[in-house]
Amino acid sequence: MTVPDFQFITDGVRCIPVRTPTLPPATHTNVWILGEHHVTVVDPGSPYPDEQERLDYILETVLVERIVLTHHHADHISGAIALKSTTGARIAAHPLTQQRIDFDVDDTLTEDDVLATDAGFWRVFHTPGHASGHICLHNPGISTLVMGDMVAGIGTILLDPPEGDLGLYLHSLNLLRDLQPKRLLPAHGPVIDNAVGCLNEYINHRHTRTEQIAKSLAEIGTASPLTIANRIYGTQVPDAFMPVAARQVLTHLNWLVAQNRAVVDNNKQFSAKES
Ligand SMILES: [Zn+2]
């Protein structure tokens, strides 16, 4: 067996990236280990037996008390049952995550629940937007947030309607920003130290994109998400990714409708609303 990638971060938090079928350019999901000896393991997401074995091997020296799933996407949950079977740890997730997965969790987690480890407490925040049952974990003692897929250290966060909801996502980002964290631990890519700056960037980017889409819609009159995606992204996005880009545009259009700034007809064509 090769030397395990047991990257010590700090303050009783460690990261073990495992290979997962995730969204490129990311290739791995970060499994966050909270605690020193009695630990909580977040998002063991690899479906691959060799990666699951590597994680087991690394965790052999600690007691895994709990497995937490930030949300239901396959690259976050696919190693949970395997890890439970080797460690006996209980699996915990939000009730809305339970509804979206095909195995039973042992415990449900909701807003303000607190998880104790031997290296500090982590408070649960319900942060829908990317996924309905998404949760983040906050440790105020070390000003650190386990972010799941709320932000990414590599690549971008997809909001795929109807699960993806921009209004909820922005609300959740604002709530996390108001905690004034120092450090963000994303599920993909490196640790983010400029936490508040990063959250502000994500919030501002979504507002800028919304206004760009509102402007396009006003100019075109009536349009489908794909028409607007082609207009906005043009040659920046390869043709193969244009349907994904159109799903992102749809998220913004849905938010404009929710804000009473656009309307949608039965053929899923959007128009700007006269103000
Ligand atoms: Zn996700």
DSSP per position, 113-175 = -EEEETTEEEEEEE--SSSTT-EEEEETTTTEEEEETSS-SSS-----TTT--HHHHHHHHHH
pLDDT band at 3 (very low <50, low <70, confident <90, very high): very low
What does pLDDT average to over the chain?
93
Predicted local confidence at residue 10, as pLDDT: 78
pLDDT at 115 over 70: yes
Say whether 205-272 and 7-193 share the same fold: no
Report which of residues 45 and 273 the model is more confident about.
45
pLDDT band at 7 (very low <50, low <70, confident <90, very high): low
Token pair belonging to 232: 């906005």
Q: Collapse the DSSP code of 56 into the 3-class scheme (helix H, G, I; strand E, B; otherwise coil) and give the result.
A: helix
What CATH number does domain 7-193 carry, 1.10.620.20, 3.60.15.10, 3.40.50.720, 3.30.930.10? 3.60.15.10
Span from the CA of 138 to the centroid of ligand 1 (angstroms):
19
Span from the CA of 131 to the centroid of ligand 1 (angstroms):
7
**At CB < 8 A and 24+ separation, what contacts does 97-102 make?**
97/69, 97/71, 97/72, 97/131, 97/132, 97/133, 97/134, 97/135, 98/133, 99/133, 100/72, 100/131, 100/132, 100/133, 101/69, 101/72, 101/77
Q: Spell out the residues 6+ positions from residue 54 whose beta carbon is closer than 8 angstroms to its own.
A: 1, 4, 5, 18
Q: Where are the domains of the chain?
A: 7-193, 205-272
Span from the CA of 74 to the centroid of ligand 1 (angstroms):
8
pLDDT band at 234 (very low <50, low <70, confident <90, very high): confident
Report which of residues 8 and 244 the model is more confident about.
244
Span from the CA of 219 to the centroid of ligand 1 (angstroms):
33
Span from the CA of 247 to the centroid of ligand 1 (angstroms):
15
pTM of the model: 0.93
Span from the CA of 100 to the centroid of ligand 1 (angstroms):
12
pLDDT at 99 over 60: yes
- Give per-residue pLDDT as tens, 179-233: 999 999 999 999 999 999 999 999 999 999 999 999 999 999 999 999 999 999 8
Span from the CA of 160 to the centroid of ligand 1 (angstroms):
10
Span from the CA of 79 to the centroid of ligand 1 (angstroms):
15
- Give per-residue pLDDT as tens, 59-96: 999 999 999 999 999 999 999 999 999 999 999 999 99
User: For domain 205-272, which architecture applies?
Assistant: Orthogonal Bundle (1.10)
Predicted local confidence at residue 236, as pLDDT: 83
Span from the CA of 71 to the centroid of ligand 1 (angstroms):
7
Q: In 3D, which of 49, 41, 46, 32 has the Cα closest to residue 76?
A: 46
